[in-house]
Amino acid sequence: MAAAGRDRDKNLMEERSMGRRSQRLFTAVAVLAMAAACGGTTPSSSGGGTQATVSLKIMVGGLNKQIYLPNMLAQQLGYFKAENLNVTLIDEGSGQASEEEVVAGNVDAGSGAYVHPMVLNTLGKKIETICQFGIAPGEAEVVDTSLTNISSVKDLGGKNLGVTDIGSGTHVLTQAILGTAGLDPTKSQYVAVGAGNTFIAAIQQHKIAAGMTTFPTISRLVNSGKGKILVSLLTPADTRAALGGDYPFIGVFAKNDWVNGNKDVAQRLVNAYVKTLKFIHSHTAAEIADKMPADYYAGDKASYVADLQSQLGIFGTDCKMPVGGPENVQKIQKQFVASYKGKSANLSETYTNEFADKAS
């Protein structure tokens, strides 16, 4: 009976996930259709030897999440425009959906976890990261403080655990911290709860015992006393301690074919991100926050600045993939992610430093 119940729960979760993705796809396509009427994504030559102005659509797995900050910051600083790029940033709650839309050709590029190009490569779908700006996840496993029986990762075994979406980067990271602690990741139940208000509600309503999330969701839970950090992947040092090595996370990816056919545009895009990373590392958290939309502060700018200050180290300086990072991510996939067992990606097809080298 228990097994049948679990099967029903699993099927229901899969149906809900499919429904959410279908709705996201419909919304994204509608937005893109309206935007296409205003220019589309085809380069428009200005003639006379001057650089073409190009319209691009980039889907981001959570624009107001601080781990994705370089996307909106580049827009706010005018760095895309300086490269003659007319960039539309499309907000999406999960990097999982971003890579799906890139593969479908509905957007030119996506911003999400490096693990997505790796997993897709094993399926014969080739997208590659052209700028790796997140050299650590900037995530943490946050536990419901009302649960006094959870004091270590080992206590998470068999619990309902929140992730942004099934198959997302946070889903992989959750399985990784469980497996590293000696637990069987398949024994826990993973619940897609997004981030921000939906994640917080899942904690408050006790739908999940803990979950993998990022700032500003972390600080909202901790400051209210409703959550506490159980495992930190908020800095490169924390990540190495928890996962045994570097774990490159958020970057910008596009189809390999698109990159090869639009090298000039790809270069200009990476140029903008490299300028943004240099800005991050030459300004204070307060100065960076001043450039961001006010609604990103969630009503508490001081906390936003403090959170950002604590994790500036997750951002690289040059868009380059950390040496050994892809190998460590694949090792974790093979060890702890059941769906990846027996698979292996051609890592050279999942990222490139070609444009970062030239931008630097």
Structure tokens at 334: 């093979």
Q: What's CA 270's distance to the chain center, in Å?
A: 17
Asked if pLDDT for residue 3 goes beyond 60, the answer is no
DSSP 30-82: HHHHHHHTTT-SS-B---TTPPPBEEEEEEES-TTSGGGHHHHHHHHTTHHHH
What distance in Å separates the CA atoms of residue 128 and residue 351, rounded to the nearest whole number? 5
Which residues have a Cβ under 8 Å from the Cβ of 28 and sit 6 or more positions away?
Answer: 59, 90, 92, 97, 101, 106, 107
Query: pLDDT of 293-348, one tens digit each?
Result: 999 998 999 999 999 999 999 999 999 999 999 999 999 999 999 899 999 999 99
Question: Confidence class of residue 94 from pLDDT cuts 50, 70 and 90?
Answer: low
| HSE, side-chain direction, 13 A CA sphere, residue 247 | 31
Give the per-residue pLDDT at 37.
37
Q: Where are the alpha helices (DSSP H) in the chain?
A: 2-36, 69-76, 79-82, 95-104, 115-122, 169-180, 197-204, 217-224, 236-243, 256-261, 263-280, 285-290, 301-310, 325-336, 354-359
Write out the residue limits of the CATH 3.40.190.10 domain(s) in the chain.
53-136+248-359, 137-243
Q: For the chain, what is the mean pLDDT?
A: 87
Can you tell me the mean pLDDT for 34-57?
55
Give the per-residue pLDDT at 1.
44
The one-letter code for the residue type at 167 is G
| HSE, side-chain direction, 13 A CA sphere, residue 123 | 11
Architecture of the structural domain at 53-136+248-359: 3-Layer(aba) Sandwich (3.40)
111 neighbors 204 (Cβ within 8 angstroms)? no
Which of 167 and 175 is assigned the larger pLDDT? 175
**Pairing verdict, β 127-131 and 250-255:** antiparallel
Which of 2 and 177 is assigned the larger pLDDT? 177
pTM score, two decimals?
0.83
Beta bridge partners of 53: 44
Give the per-residue pLDDT at 93.
67
Share above pLDDT 90 across residues of the chain, in percent, rounded to a whole number: 79
Can you tell me the mean pLDDT for 113-142?
96
What distance in Å separates the CA atoms of residue 155 and residue 293, rounded to the nearest whole number? 39
Lowest mean pLDDT among 18-22, 85-89, 220-224, 338-342: 18-22
**What radius of gyration, in Å, describes the C-alpha atoms of the chain?**
20
Question: Confidence class of residue 96 from pLDDT cuts 50, 70 and 90?
Answer: low
3-class DSSP state for residue 183? coil
Architecture of the structural domain at 137-243: 3-Layer(aba) Sandwich (3.40)
Query: pLDDT of 211-257, one tens digit each?
Result: 999 999 999 999 999 999 999 999 999 999 999 889 999 999 999 99
- Residue 348 DSSP class: G
Share above pLDDT 70 across residues of the chain, in percent, rounded to a whole number: 85
Asked if pLDDT for residue 34 goes beyond 50, the answer is no
Question: Confidence class of residue 360 from pLDDT cuts 50, 70 and 90?
Answer: confident
CA dihedral 202, 207, 210, 215 (to 10 degrees): -10
Asked if pLDDT for residue 281 goes beyond 80, the answer is yes
Asked if pLDDT for residue 13 goes beyond 90, the answer is no
Asked if pLDDT for residue 45 goes beyond 50, the answer is no
Give the per-residue pLDDT at 205.
96
